[in-house]
Amino acid sequence: MLQRQSVFKDETKLDINYVPSRLPHRETELRLLLEFFSFVLQSPRKMAQRVVITGNVGAGKTVLSQRFGVEVIHDASKRGVNLRYVHINCRECRGSLFLILLHLILVFHPNFPRRGYSAEELLDILLKVLDEEDTHVIATLDEFDSLVENEGSDAVYKLTRAQETRQNKPQRLSLVCIFRNLKTVEQLDPSTQSTLQSNIVNLETYSKQQLTDILSDRTSLAFKPSTVPENTVSLVAELASSEDGNARFGIELLWRAGKYADAEDSAVVTLECVRKAVSSIIPGMRRADLASLSFHEKLLLLGTARLLKEGHKASVSLVEAEQAYEIACEEFAVKPNSHTQLWKYLHTLSRSGIVNTEVSTTGLRGRSTLIHLPRIPARELEKELNMLLEKG
């Protein structure tokens, strides 16, 4: 039997380390970063720069800084400026100033000894190396919170004020400090805080529509044409939006959904593939959550699960769910409850996180309630509910 070809065109475009050529909804912030460093390119010896980037997890802090690194090196090359961009994750360096500085030195001298020096000595050595190389470095320190929490004001002060002792010498070291939470700065003493509060780039949380744009961009790069329907991208965007607008989560989810499609020999990344993918990242729900539902709440959920399993839509209307609920009631020989009671059931299911609801104003019939099943595959949910209902 011949195996179907993969839905992927180039799955590396969904890798966490991939830096796309364009960043939807971060163009303004990229231009601002480049503007902050324009004088460094114009007069690289006369001025160094310090910039802070902050935003929630998945707001694009890392990819923005890496894209900035590509752009600024390109600009420096055109101007004939000797510039290096180095991206360091402070958490991977265990929040240690010593390890951060050692990482920087190893960029220029890979055989430099890894022991025998203090952090202060490494800082002096780094600046001497930059003088010898006649170069300027922009060091992006990702997860800078880790250094603040681990070593406090003293380490940050030494790093940010290093060049003040170099009177009449070239300014060689610029910093981009990436914070998960800018409130971490409040842990520093006032003089150290002042070194970090001049140039701040704050990344607002992505909206669902912005996430849709980002995921659509990545889909066109990573997947073959027509393998990822719009409603699949929409569901992934909705799930990423529910995780505080986490684009990184959405991109990983898209990749996992593609893997489920390949594993099932499917030519399309379906909504069920997304639900299976998200349940593998975040536990969809415990059996106890379903068992605690009332008999009729389970019947309403069963009808909804059946509709989403059979169809290719991301959601069903309450009217459709009510019809499916009535069919389930017939199967279990019970009388359906009223429409008003179903509203209460739906509220319980939504409050517990089993379903998501939204009000749609599209179409000729005015407002309607749409029901989404975000975190558990409809087929698995149907199977579990059937077992619980038969026991009940």
Q: For the stretch 61-95, what's the b/e string if a residue is b when 16 or more beta carbons lie within 10 angstroms of its beta carbon?
A: bbbbbbbbbebbeeebeeeebebbbebbbbbebeb
pLDDT at 177: 95
pLDDT in tens, 241-278: 988 899 999 999 999 999 999 999 999 999 999 988 88
pLDDT in tens, 125-142: 999 999 999 999 999 999
Residues in contact with 11: Cβ distance below 8 Å, sequence separation at least 6, in sequence order: 222, 255, 258
pLDDT at 287: 67
Burial of 142 (0-12, 13-18, 19+ CB in 10 A): buried
Do the strands 356-360 and 368-372 form a parallel or antiparallel pair, or are they unpaired?
antiparallel
CA atoms within 13 A on the CB side of 9: 12
First to last CA, the chain: 43
- Type of residue found at 357: T
pLDDT class of 1 with cuts at 50, 70, 90: very low
Report yes or no on whether pTM surpasses 0.75: yes
Q: Is the pLDDT of residue 282 over 70?
A: no
Percent with pLDDT over 70 in the chain: 95
Domains of the chain: 27-203 (3.40.50.300), 206-281 (1.10.8.60), 287-391 (1.10.10.10)
pLDDT at 288: 66
pLDDT class of 26 with cuts at 50, 70, 90: very high
CA 43 vs CA 65, 76, 167, 174: distances in Å? 21, 11, 17, 13
Residue 51: its H or E element: strand 50-55
